[in-house]
Amino acid sequence: MEMFAMIRTIIFMLLFAVPAMAQDNIDKALLMDYFQEQQFDKAIQYLEGVKPQQANGLALLASAYYQSGQMMPAEKYYTLVLAQDSNHIQAHQALGNIARQQKQPLLAIAHFEKLVALRPTNPLYYKQLSIACGNVVGLQDSAFNYMWMAYQLNPKDVSVVTALSADLIDEKEYARADSLLKQYMLIDSSQVMVISQLVKTSYLQKDFSSATLYGERLMAMNALELTAFSYLSVSYYALKKYDSCIIVYDKTAAMTRGNAPETIIYYAGISYARMKQFDKSNELIQRCIDLAKSKSLDSYYATLADNYEQMKQFRRAISYYDTSYYLFKDPMRQYGIGRIYEQHLQDPLNAKKHYRQYVKDAKPENKEEESIHTYVKERIKNL
């Protein structure tokens, strides 16, 4: 329904919003039907027959190409639109998106800057500009500032909140990130990523009680957030809640079919020892030893991740890559996560984050690894 509403809005504006301007002779009702039914090929065929010359008709033709995934002709006609109307909102939006898809961040920035100038109270345009700036070396501060503007204009956008808090955590501004996340919780307390980040910020500030409260909420939601659960386990141990450490292990083991992260297994093991249940403690600690010795487990996780990626269950694939990295610190798992974010989830911010971690950790040992390392460094520049 949202897609239909968006298409109707765009077409309605193009067909009816500027009656005072010169317009091509277009059958508005027919074209509206084509767009509502997503029959973009018919819309293109009709408009190419009309051969529009005015900005509104050219924009309709460009939009039909854009919606059908034909970026080259879309770019051509949107450029013709801007030649007649340099302030055309839809043309700048589409051309900015096309430039971003083509890994041309500087060109995307130019279009998104124009949108910000034309609509300085629209948070979406600041968010888009932030993402584009984040893909250019040296513009990270600008990226943060534009994302902050987006947040001030719309503090209800969870993607903006989590992006800002992740940047703040990376800069070790834990209290500021924590405050931002808690403000969002007053608006919506159901977002898994926000709660997961709060487990982390609470732990990093040594507020173990808060970390456990947020972690318990994640467990109640049956959210598979293994990193957050690891912070939760350590927090419980710090509070001497040993039985709760074991509950985290049991819950995580059930959710992962027995493949809980080593940290969670370890803290459950030493919790059993604190409770004088040494046989159970020994069993879990031995599992940790076996995990540490196993050279095959990493590839098992990677195979599971690859399988789920092929099944288009991308979040689950990321979870297994994340678990593998958490256990074995193989930089290639960060590459795998970044690749999924870039290629399948169209999330350049998270893709770049994991690519950077890969480049930081990787030590190529053969030509294939050197090729991947070189490729990822270039992707970071162009994302």
Q: What value does the mean pLDDT take over residues 309-334?
A: 88
Question: How many CB atoms neighbour CB 204 within 10 A?
Answer: 16
Residue 293: predicted pLDDT? 66
Residue 74: predicted pLDDT? 94
Residue 151: predicted pLDDT? 96
For residues 172 and 380, what is the distance between their CA atoms, to the nearest angstrom?
A: 22
Residue 35: predicted pLDDT? 85
Residue 239: predicted pLDDT? 97
Q: Which of 331, 325, 372, 147 is nearest to 380 (CA)?
A: 372
pLDDT top residue among 16 and 146? 146
pLDDT band for position 22 (cuts 50, 70, 90): low
Domain boundaries, the chain: 316-382
pLDDT top residue among 184 and 103? 184
Q: What value does the mean pLDDT take over residues 152-164?
A: 95
Q: What angle do CA 230, 236, 238 make, to 5 degrees?
A: 105
Q: What value does the mean pLDDT take over residues 275-299?
A: 82
Q: What value does the mean pLDDT take over residues 28-35?
A: 85
For residues 224 and 287, what is the distance between their CA atoms, to the nearest angstrom?
A: 21
Per-residue pLDDT of 57-91, as tens digits, reads 899 999 999 999 999 999 999 999 999 999 999 99
pLDDT band for position 308 (cuts 50, 70, 90): confident
Q: Among residues of the chain, what percentage have pLDDT more than 70?
A: 93
Instruction: At 75, list the tokens.
Output: 């770019």
Question: How many CB atoms neighbour CB 71 within 10 A?
Answer: 17
pLDDT band for position 52 (cuts 50, 70, 90): confident
For residues 159 and 110, what is the distance between their CA atoms, to the nearest angstrom?
A: 23
Residue 370: predicted pLDDT? 87
Kindly report the backbone phi and psi dihedral angles of residue 51, in degrees, each rounded to the nearest multiple of 5, phi listed first.
55, 65
Q: Mean of the per-residue pLDDT values for the chain?
A: 88
Polymer length of the chain? 383
Q: Give, to the nearest 10 degrees, the angle between helix 242-255 and helix 262-274.
A: 140
Q: What angle do CA 187, 192, 196 make, to 5 degrees?
A: 105
Residue 14: predicted pLDDT? 56
Q: Which of 254, 256, 216 is nearest to 233 (CA)?
A: 216
Residue 12: predicted pLDDT? 53
Q: What value does the mean pLDDT take over residues 125-136?
A: 92
Q: What value does the mean pLDDT take over residues 143-164?
A: 95
* Beta carbons within 8 Å of 231's beta carbon, 6+ residues apart: 199, 200, 203, 211, 215
Q: Examine the pLDDT at 11 and tell me if it is beyond 60.
A: no
Q: Which of 6, 8, 43, 47 is nearest to 24 (CA)?
A: 47
Lowest average pLDDT, out of 11-15, 190-194, 339-343, 350-354, goes to: 11-15
Q: What value does the mean pLDDT take over residues 11-20?
A: 51
Question: How many CB atoms neighbour CB 181 within 10 A?
Answer: 26
Residue 3: predicted pLDDT? 41
Q: What angle do CA 35, 41, 45 make, to 5 degrees?
A: 100
Q: Among residues of the chain, what percentage have pLDDT more than 90?
A: 58
Q: What value does the mean pLDDT take over residues 208-230?
A: 95
Residue 18: predicted pLDDT? 46
Q: Examine the pLDDT at 2 and tell me if it is beyond 80.
A: no
Residue 310 burial (10 A CB sphere; 0-12, 13-18, 19+): exposed
Site of tokens 């031995």:
286
Residue 45: predicted pLDDT? 92
* Beta carbons within 8 Å of 9's beta carbon, 6+ residues apart: none
DSSP codes of every residue in 176-213: HHHHHHHHHHTT-S--HHHHHHHHHHHHHTT-HHHHHH
